[in-house]
Amino acid sequence: MTPPLTRGRPGRSASRDASPGTTPAASGKRHTPLQHRPDEENQRANRQHKGSRGGRPPGFDRTIYKPRNEVERTINALKSFRAVATRFDKRAYVFHGTVTVASIRLWLRSRPTGET
């Protein structure tokens, strides 16, 4: 006689197999996002003590961040050009020309259409 056909893995009871209604969504439980916890004083002091050796900066200075962000965004825009991203050119002066042409194209693209 052959064993009856059942769902699940062989050798396991049917109660251990996943069945409809056992998922967190089916049971009414929902994923809750993590809440933001403010830093404790000792954590903030420890990051300041570490300095550039580890951890995120304890403060945010908008005047320092703005030019840095502008440079990073410009470099990422230049990397959208394949020849710049892969540095396909062998010679430095040819690569410099490639970057210059890519920069001019970005500059022309950013100008309003009616401007001369």
Between 56 and 104, whose confidence is greater? 104
Give the torsion sign (CA, 79, 81, 86, 91).
negative
pLDDT tens digits, residue range 2-59? Answer: 666 666 666 666 555 555 556 666 666 666 666 766 667 777 777 777 766 666 666 7
pLDDT, position 75? 92
The structural domains of the chain, with segments of one domain joined by +, span 59-116
Conformational region of residue 5, where left means phi above 0, alpha means psi within -120 to 50, and beta covers everything else? beta
pLDDT tens digits, residue range 58-95? Answer: 677 788 889 999 999 999 999 999 988 888 888 999 99
Give the Å distances, CA to CA, from 80 to 46, 50, 59, 99. 39, 36, 32, 11
pTM of the model: 0.45
